[in-house]
C-alpha cells in the first residue's frame, strides 16, 4: 500500500490534513513532466480489433449509471437480477445493484464450465523451483468446490471471516474462491508479513480459520510460513476457537497443534467435488484487505460483491484488451495486494481468461526468468510495476533481448508513477516498440482501475495515466476544492461514487469518513498529488506528502526522480525532502548507479547529476545532497519507503523498517554510504 512509503494522508488515524502548498499556480519545477512531448498514437490494426472504443466515454458521460448497470448485467450472471443501480443516500457508503444477488466464485468459475469452456486453462502455475501445474476451469471448479466443503466442515459459515496466509500457489486462488463460494469474506495477508502483523489482522477481522502452507519458495530456498501462524496465534486469539488449514508446498517439517491444525490434503482432497454456491446480496462483503498506514493500526479496507466484480471485470477486459479465447495474461502481483485480488483473481477469472501465476522472484535462478516465462507460455498481456521495470533496466536490455517476447501485445503498469524513461524502455525493449503501454492509477480503496489510457483509443503520453475511465469522475482541485485549470496542479479527487469503491474500514466507520471524506466535504480524497496538462490529461505526482517545499517552491519527488533516472548513469533514484534551516526543506537524492558509472568518484557523479537535474527541471530542483547507495528500501509491493530515507537524510535513527521486503537494506545503505557529495 502506498501509505507505506509516506506519512498517512489527510485525516488518517485521526491526524490533521497535511498543509501542502497552494497548488493553484504552476510552481517552478513542476514543468518537467509536462514537457514530455513524445506521443504514441494507437496502431490502426490494434485499434480495429480493440475491445474499447471512443464512444464509451460519451455513453458513460451522458448516462453513467446506465453504463454501469449495463456492464453489471452483461459481464456477470445474477442469481437474482437487480433493479436498483445506485443508492447513495447513505453516503459515503454506497450501495450498488443492492437488490440483486450473485456468487463471485460461480461467476469466476462455474459459468465458464457451463458455457462449454471447462477445458480452457485458467491457471498456468510456475513454481520458483521450476515445477508447474495447469488448472483448467473444470479443474478449478472441482478444487474450489472441495475447498468450500472443507471450510464448512471446519465450521466456517456465511459471513465468517477467513484469513489466508499463503505463497503465490494455486491454493491461494482456490482458497479465496472457496471463501467467496460460501460467502465468507477473506482477508489475505501477504506471506512476507511478520507474526505481529498477521496477529493484528487476524484479530481485527476476527477470522475463524487461517489458511496457510508449510512454506514457499523464494530466492532459491524454501522459506517457512506455518511457524509464523503459530507465533501469531500464540499471541492470543481472543475467545474464538480458530482452526488452521495447512497446504503442503515445500514438504518441510512443521510444528503441529493437534485438534487445531488440519492438512489441506486431508480436508480438501476427500471432500465432494460438486458444491452449490451461496448466492449473496450484492452488498455482501467479499473481502477485507489491510493497508498499512505509518501510524495507527492498519486499515481493513473492505469491498463488497456486485459493484466490485463489475468494475474488476470491465476494467480488465477494456484496459488490457483481453480476448479470453486467445490471450495469455500475466499479472506479476502477489495475491497479498489489491492488484492480486482484482487482476489475478477476480477480473481475469470473471472474464474467463487464461493466465500465468509465478511463485518466485524475477532473478531466480537467473535474471531472465520473467522473460523465459513470457516466451514459454506465449504471454500476450503483461501487467507489472515500475519498480520491476526499473530493476530490469538496471540489469540491462541484453537480458530480455535473449528471449522471444513477440507474443506480447499489451503492457500495463501500476503502483507508482512511471517515469517517462521507464515507460519508453518498457515499450521499446519489452514491447518491441509496438505494444500499447497502459499506466493504470488506482488504489486498494478504489478496488479497480480508475485512471488509465484505453489501448487502441488513447494517444499515449509516457508518464501519464491520462484519463478517468468511462463511468469514472476524477478531478484535480486546489485547497478550496476548486477544479484547477489545465496546466496546474493540486489534489487528485474522485467526485462521483464508482461501483468498486471501498464500503468502509472494517469495524471503524468514523475512520473511513475521517480519512477519505473530510479533507474536502463529500469528495473522496485519494491522498495523491496530480497535475492536469494543457489537454486536461492527468499526471500523478506521488502522495501529497511526497511533495517538497524548497524555498517556497513546490517540488515533486517523482519529478526529480524522473529527471535523475533519465541520466544514463542512474539506474534508480529516490528523492526526499529533508528539513533544512535555510530553505525549509532540501532535496536529498539516493541513487543506484548503472554498472559502468559506479567506478567513477561519487563527487564527480554528483556534480554531473546536479547539473543534469538543473538542466531538466531548473536550478531550484538541484539536490543538495546526492548519496550513492547499493539498494533502495522498498515495501513488498515495491513502493519506496521514503520515510526511512528521510530518517537517513535527517541523521535520525531509522524508524520502523519491518514492512520492508528486505529488512537488511537499511543496514546496507547506512554501512555503505559513501561520503555525501
Query: Residue 591 and residue 135: Cα distance in Å, rounded?
Result: 43
**Binding of ligand 6R9 at residue 441 (CB under 6 A)?**
yes
Q: Which of residues 276-335 bind ligand 6R9 (CB under 6 A)?
A: 291
Nearer Cβ to ligand 6R9 (127/436): 436
276 is known to lie in a ligand binding site: no
145 is known to lie in a ligand binding site: no
Query: Residue 571 and residue 465: Cα distance in Å, rounded?
Result: 23
> 188 and 287 in contact (C-beta within 8 Å)?
yes
Cell of 174: 482456490
Beta bridge partners of 165: 212
Nearer Cβ to ligand 6R9 (1/350): 1
Nearer Cβ to ligand 6R9 (120/636): 636
> 202 and 233 in contact (C-beta within 8 Å)?
yes
Nearer Cβ to ligand 6R9 (85/526): 526
Taking CB under 6 A as the binding criterion, the range among 248-256, 267-275, 523-531, 665-673 that sits at the site for ligand 6R9 is 523-531
- Give kind and range of the element (H or E) at residue 541: strand 538-543
Minimum CB separation from ligand 6R9 for residue 469, in Å? 13
Nearer Cβ to ligand 6R9 (106/498): 498
Beta bridge partners of 548: 555
Q: Are strands 354-358 and 328-331 parallel, antiparallel or unpaired?
A: parallel
Cell of 496: 462521483
439 is known to lie in a ligand binding site: yes
**Binding of ligand 6R9 at residue 442 (CB under 6 A)?**
yes
What separation, in Å, do the N-terminal and C-terminal C-alpha atoms of the chain show? Answer: 32
- Give kind and range of the element (H or E) at residue 209: strand 207-213
Site size with ligand 6R9, rule: CB under 6 A: 23
Nearer Cβ to ligand 6R9 (338/644): 338
Minimum CB separation from ligand 6R9 for residue 527, in Å? 6
**Binding of ligand 6R9 at residue 529 (CB under 6 A)?**
no
339 is known to lie in a ligand binding site: yes
> 550 and 556 in contact (C-beta within 8 Å)?
no
Residue of 637, 640, 644, 647 that binds ligand 6R9 (CB under 6 A): 637
Residue of 181, 543, 622, 634 that binds ligand 6R9 (CB under 6 A): 543
Minimum CB separation from ligand 6R9 for residue 621, in Å? 19
Nearer Cβ to ligand 6R9 (356/540): 540
Q: What is the DSSP letter of 607?
A: H
Minimum CB separation from ligand 6R9 for residue 521, in Å? 21
398 is known to lie in a ligand binding site: no
443 is known to lie in a ligand binding site: yes
Query: Residue 226 and residue 232: Cα distance in Å, rounded?
Result: 10
Minimum CB separation from ligand 6R9 for residue 339, in Å? 5
Query: Residue 382 and residue 374: Cα distance in Å, rounded?
Result: 9
Residue of 167, 170, 360, 527 that binds ligand 6R9 (CB under 6 A): 527
Taking CB under 6 A as the binding criterion, the range among 77-85, 137-145, 196-204, 439-447 that sits at the site for ligand 6R9 is 439-447
543 is known to lie in a ligand binding site: yes
What is the SS3 assignment for 215-237? EEEECCEEEECHHHHHHHHHCCE
Minimum CB separation from ligand 6R9 for residue 338, in Å? 5
**Binding of ligand 6R9 at residue 440 (CB under 6 A)?**
yes
Nearer Cβ to ligand 6R9 (137/539): 539
- Give the contacts of 4 (CB within 8 A, at least 6 positions apart): 292, 294, 635, 637, 639, 641, 659
Find the farthest-apart pair of alpha carbons in the chain and give their distance in angstroms, rounded: 71
Q: Are strands 328-331 and 381-384 parallel, antiparallel or unpaired?
A: parallel
**Binding of ligand 6R9 at residue 559 (CB under 6 A)?**
no
Backbone dihedral angles phi then psi of residue 424, each to the nearest 5 degrees: -70, -35
Query: Residue 165 and residue 383: Cα distance in Å, rounded?
Result: 23
Residues in contact with ligand 6R9, shown as a per-residue x/- string from 407 to 426 under the rule CB under 6 A: -------xxxx---------
Which residue, among 481, 482, 487, 457, has the nearest Cα to 469 in the 3D structure? 457
444 is known to lie in a ligand binding site: yes
Q: Which of residues 364-383 bind ligand 6R9 (CB under 6 A)?
A: none
224 is known to lie in a ligand binding site: no
Q: Name the residue with cell 460438486.
A: 274
Nearer Cβ to ligand 6R9 (117/636): 636
Taking CB under 6 A as the binding criterion, the range among 314-322, 498-506, 522-530, 585-593 that sits at the site for ligand 6R9 is 522-530
Task: Name the percent of the chain in helix, strand, coil, to the closest 5.
Answer: 35, 25, 45
Beta bridge partners of 210: 163, 244
Nearer Cβ to ligand 6R9 (86/474): 474
572 is known to lie in a ligand binding site: no
Nearer Cβ to ligand 6R9 (1/163): 1
Q: Edge-to-edge, what's the strand order for the sheet holding 207-213?
A: 261-263, 243-247, 207-213, 161-165, 186-188, 285-291, 299-304, 504-505
Site residues (vs ligand 6R9, CB under 6 A): 1-2, 291, 337-339, 414-417, 439-444, 465, 526-528, 540, 543, 637
Task: Name the binding residues for ATP.
Answer: 415-417, 439-444, 528, 543, 554
Task: Name the binding residues for CoA.
Answer: 218-221, 339, 551
Amino acid at each position: 500500500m502506498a501509505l507505506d512509503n509516506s506519512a498517512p494522508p489527510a485525516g488518517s488515524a485521526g491526524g490533521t490534513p497535511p498543509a501542502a502548498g497552494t497548488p493553484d499556480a504552476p510552481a517552478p519545477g513542476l514543468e518537467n513532466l509536462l514537457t514530455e512531448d513524445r506521443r504514441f498514437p494507437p496502431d490502426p490494426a490494434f485499434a480495429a480489433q480493440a475491445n474499447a472504443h471512443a464512444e464509451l466515454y460519451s455513453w458513460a458521460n451522458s448516462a453513467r449509471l446506465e453504463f454501469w448497470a449495463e456492464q453489471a448485467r452483461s459481464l456477470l450472471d445474477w442469481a437474482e437480477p437487480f433493479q436498483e443501480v445506485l443508492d447513495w443516500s447513505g453516503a459515503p457508503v454506497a450501495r450498488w445493484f443492492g437488490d440483486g444477488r450473485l456468487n463471485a466464485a460461480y461467476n469466476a468459475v462455474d459459468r465458464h464450465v457451463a458455457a462449454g469452456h471447462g477445458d480452457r486453462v485458467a491457471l498456468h502455475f510456475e513454481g520458483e523451483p521450476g515445477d508447474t501445474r495447469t488448472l483448467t476451469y473444470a479443474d478449478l471448479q472441482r478444487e474450489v468446490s472441495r475447498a468450500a466443503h472443507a471450510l464448512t466442515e471446519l465450521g466456517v459459515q456465511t459471513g465468517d471471516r477467513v484469513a489466508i496466509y499463503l505463497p503465490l500457489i494455486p491454493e491461494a486462488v482456490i482458497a479465496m474462491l472457496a471463501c467467496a463460494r460460501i460467502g465468507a469474506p477473506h482477508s489475505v495477508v501477504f506471506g512476507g508479513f511478520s507474526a505481529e502483523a498477521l496477529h493484528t489482522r487476524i484479530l481485527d477481522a476476527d477470522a475463524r480459520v487461517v489458511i496457510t502452507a508449510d512454506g514457499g519458495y523464494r530466492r532459491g530456498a524454501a522459506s517457512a510460513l506455518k511457524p509464523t501462524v503459530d507465533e501469531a496465534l500464540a499471541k492470543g486469539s481472543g475467545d474464538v476457537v480458530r482452526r488452521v488449514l495447512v497446504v503442503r508446498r515445500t514438504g518441510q517439517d512443521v510444528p503441529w497443534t493437534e485438534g487445531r491444525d488440519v492438512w489441506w490434503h486431508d480436508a480438501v482432497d476427500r471432500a465432494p467435488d460438486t458444491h452449490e454456491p451461496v448466492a449473496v446480496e450484492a452488498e455482501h462483503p467479499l473481502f477485507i484487505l489491510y493497508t498499512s498506514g505509518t501510524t495507527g493500526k492498519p486499515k481493513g479496507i473492505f469491498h463488497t460483491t456486485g459493484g466490485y466484480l463489475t468494475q474488476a471485470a470491465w476494467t480488465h477486459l477494456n484496459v488490457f484488451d483481453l480476448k479470453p479465447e486467445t490471450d495469455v495474461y500475466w499479472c506479476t502481483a502477489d495475491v497479498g495486494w489489491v492488484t492480486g485480488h482484482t487482476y489475478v483473481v477476480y477480473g481475469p477469472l470473471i472474464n474467463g481468461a487464461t493466465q500465468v501465476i509465478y511463485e518466485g522472484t524475477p532473478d531466480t535462478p537467473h535474471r531472465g526468468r520473467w522473460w523465459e516465462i513470457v516466451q514459454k507460455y506465449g504471454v500476450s498481456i503483461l501487467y507489472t510495476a515500475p519498480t520491476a521495470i526499473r530493476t530490469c533496466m538496471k540489469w540491462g536490455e541484453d537480458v530480455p533481448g535473449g528471449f522471444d517476447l513477440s507474443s506480447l501485445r499489451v503492457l500495463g503498469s501500476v503502483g507508482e508513477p512511471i517515469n517517462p524513461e521507464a515507460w519508453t524502455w518498457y515499450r521499446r525493449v519489452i514491447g518491441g516498440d509496438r505494444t500499447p503501454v497502459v499506466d493504470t492509477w488506482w488504489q486498494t480503496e478504489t478496488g479497480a482501475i480508475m485512471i488509465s489510457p484505453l489501448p487502441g483509443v488513447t494517444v499515449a503520453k509516457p508518464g501519464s495515466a491520462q484519463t478517468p475511465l468511462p463511468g469514472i469522475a476524477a478531478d484535480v482541485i486546489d485547497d478550496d476544492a476548486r477544479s484547477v485549470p489545465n496546466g496546474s496542479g493540486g489534489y487528485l479527487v474522485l467526485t462521483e461514487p464508482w461501483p468498486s469503491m471501498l464500503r468502509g474500514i472494517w469495524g471503524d466507520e468514523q475512520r473511513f469518513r475521517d480519512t477519505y471524506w473530510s479533507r474536502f466535504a463529500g469528495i473522496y480524497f485519494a491522498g495523491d498529488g496530480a497535475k492536469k496538462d494543457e489537454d486536461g490529461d492527468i499526471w500523478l505526482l506521488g502522495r501529497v506528502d511526497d511533495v517538497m517545499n524548497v524555498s517556497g517552491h513546490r517540488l515533486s519527488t517523482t519529478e526529480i526522480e524522473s529527471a535523475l533516472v533519465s541520466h544514463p548513469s542512474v539506474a534508480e533514484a529516490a528523492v526526499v525532502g529533508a528539513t533544512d534551516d535555510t530553505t525549509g526543506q532540501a532535496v536529498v537524492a539516493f541513487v543506484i548507479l548503472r554498472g559502468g558509472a559506479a567506478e567513477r568518484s561519487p563527487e564527480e557523479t554528483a556534480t554531473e547529476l546536479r547539473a543534469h537535474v538543473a538542466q531538466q527541471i531548473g536550478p531550484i530542483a538541484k539536490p543538495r545532497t546526492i548519496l550513492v547507495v547499493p539498494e533502495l528500501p522498498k515495501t513488498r509491493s515495491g513502493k519506496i519507503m521514503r520515510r526511512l530515507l528521510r530518517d537517513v537524510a535527517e541523521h535520525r535513527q531509522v524508524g520502523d523498517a519491518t514492512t520492508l521486503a528486505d529488512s537488511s537494506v537499511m543496514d546496507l545503505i547506512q554501512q555503505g554510504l559513501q561520503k555525501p557529495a
